[in-house]
């Protein structure tokens, strides 16, 4: 038979080095970890019970978005707009992150993860994600209409007549249609550094957010999770489409990425 000794030693060597590799990969500094950039849209929060924008034939909670999410709409009927976001804020405080949000936190154990979201909810943060960039602002913040740099945390209703310390009416700290997307260049710079790009729950219809994925370097693997994907696998090289909800598709993809990496 085969002499037990040499085989046993080589087995130890294989066992030892694969464990060493795992130990190195698990414990290397964040800066050495692969960078994953995740672009999320309303579909990410759908499984938490927050309705998307375009599933309800283009109405957002029965309102035309231009009526409640544009400077013109706010000028025309500020009380209606403030009440609309009061309803959105109250609803947000009733819902919780879903399995998709939670598995994106898990991803941070093994990769250097940044989330670029179009969503104004705080579900990524509540799930525990540590690097979240809100392209379209945040529902739980308000800002002065007289000094855009004055931003306040705000979890309750906001009414007409509630002003900033300088006396200007407060408004939702949200990017309305036709307004600047201040964090766009930061988001683009982050996307350029991605080793892997994951896009979850967005119809890719609203620019400039939808254009972010064009900043990914040539050859970067892109994973697109959506039950009704709005792009085709042939649209981009290295694109994998996962036709699934976020709550189901994200956990599967995360496990797969971790297995591939380790
Ligand atoms: N899981 C994942 N994706 C889902 C789910 C789900 N459970 N349910 C629906 N979706 C997908 C839809 O198929 C659609 O592709 O989520 C996407 C939602 O698209 P939109 O409603 O257009 O939302 P979004 O792409 O985030 O809109 C972008 O438009 O109204 C503006 O500023 C607003 O940030 C918003 C921007």
Whole-number Å distance, alpha carbon 56 to ligand 1 midpoint, is 11
Q: What pLDDT band is residue 61 in, cutting at 50, 70 and 90?
A: confident
Index of the ligand 1 atom closest to the CA of residue 245: 1
**DSSP letter string, 76-109:** H-HHHHHHHHHHHHHHHTT----HHHHHHHHHTT
Ligand 1 atom having least distance to the Cα of 53? 21
Query: What CA–CA distance (Å, rounded) separates 68 from 73?
Result: 6
Residues 25, 114, 52, CA angle at the centre, nearest 5°? 130
CA of 107 relative to ligand 1 center, distance in Å: 22
Active-site residue flag, 136? yes
Residue 1 pLDDT more than 50? no
d(CA 118, CA 203): 11
CA 138 / ligand 1 centre spacing (Å): 16
Nearest to 231 by CA among 198, 197, 203, 207: 203
Indicate the range of 164-173, 191-200, 234-243 predicted with least confidence. 234-243
DSSP per-residue codes, 136-156:
TEEEEEEEESS-TT-EEE--S
Residue 192 in tokens = 């350029």
Task: Note the pLDDT of residue 243.
Answer: 98
- Closest residue to atom 14 of ligand 1, CA basis: 203
Q: Ligand 1, residue 46: give the atom nearest the CA.
A: 7
- Tell me: pLDDT of 147 over 60: yes
Helix or strand run (H / E) with residue 224: strand 222-225
Q: Under 8 Å CB-to-CB from 5, ≥6 apart: which residues?
A: none
pTM of the model as a whole: 0.90
Give pLDDT tens digits for 221-233.
999 999 999 999 8
Mutate which of 44, 51, 54 for ligand 1? The one with the most ligand atoms within 8 Å of its CB, which is 54
Q: Among 4-18, 56-70, 94-108, 127-141, which is the least confidently predicted range?
A: 4-18
* Residue-level pLDDT at 224: 97
Residue ranges lining ligand 1, Cβ < 6 Å:
41-43, 46-47, 52-55, 65, 118, 136, 201-203, 205-206, 226-228, 230, 245-246
Average pLDDT, the chain: 91
Q: Is 36 exposed, middle or buried (0-12, 13-18, 19+ CB in 10 A)?
A: buried
User: How far apart are alpha carbons 129 and 98 in whole angstroms?
Assistant: 13
What pLDDT sits at residue 230? 94
* Catalytic, out of 101, 124, 134, 136: 136
Measured from the Cα of 100, ligand 1's closest atom is 1
Determine which of 60-64, 84-88, 254-258 has the lowest per-residue pLDDT on average: 60-64
- What average pLDDT score do residues 14-33 get? 72
């Amino acid at each position: 038979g085969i002499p037990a000794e040499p085989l046993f030693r080589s087995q130890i060597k294989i066992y030892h080095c694969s464990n060493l590799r795992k130990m190195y990969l698990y414990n290397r500094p964040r800066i050495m970890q692969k960078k994953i950039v995740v672009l999320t849209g309303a579909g990410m929060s759908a499984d938490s019970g927050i309705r998307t924008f375009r599933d309800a034939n283009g109405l957002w909670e029965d309102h035309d978005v231009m009526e409640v999410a544009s400077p013109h709409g706010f000028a025309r009927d500020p009380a209606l707009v403030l009440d609309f976001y009061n309803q959105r804020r109250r609803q947000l405080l009733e819902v919780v992150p879903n399995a998709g949000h939670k598995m994106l936190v898990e991803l941070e154990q093994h990769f250097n993860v940044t989330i670029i979201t179009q969503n104004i909810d705080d579900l990524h943060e509540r799930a525990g994600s540590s690097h979240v960039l809100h392209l379209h602002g945040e529902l739980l913040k308000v800002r002065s209409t007289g000094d855009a740099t004055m931003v306040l945390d705000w979890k309750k209703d906001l009414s007409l007549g509630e002003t900033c310390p300088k006396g200007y009416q407060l408004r939702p700290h949200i990017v309305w249609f036709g307004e600047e997307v201040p964090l766009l260049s930061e988001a683009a710079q982050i996307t350029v550094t991605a080793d892997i790009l994951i896009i979850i729950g967005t119809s890719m219809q609203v620019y400039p957010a939808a254009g972010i994925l064009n900043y990914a370097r040539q050859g970067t693997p892109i994973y697109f999770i959506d039950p009704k994907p709005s792009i085709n696998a042939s649209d981009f090289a290295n694109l994998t489409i996962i036709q699934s909800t976020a709550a189901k598709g994200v956990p599967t993809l995360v496990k797969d990425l971790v297995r591939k990496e380790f």
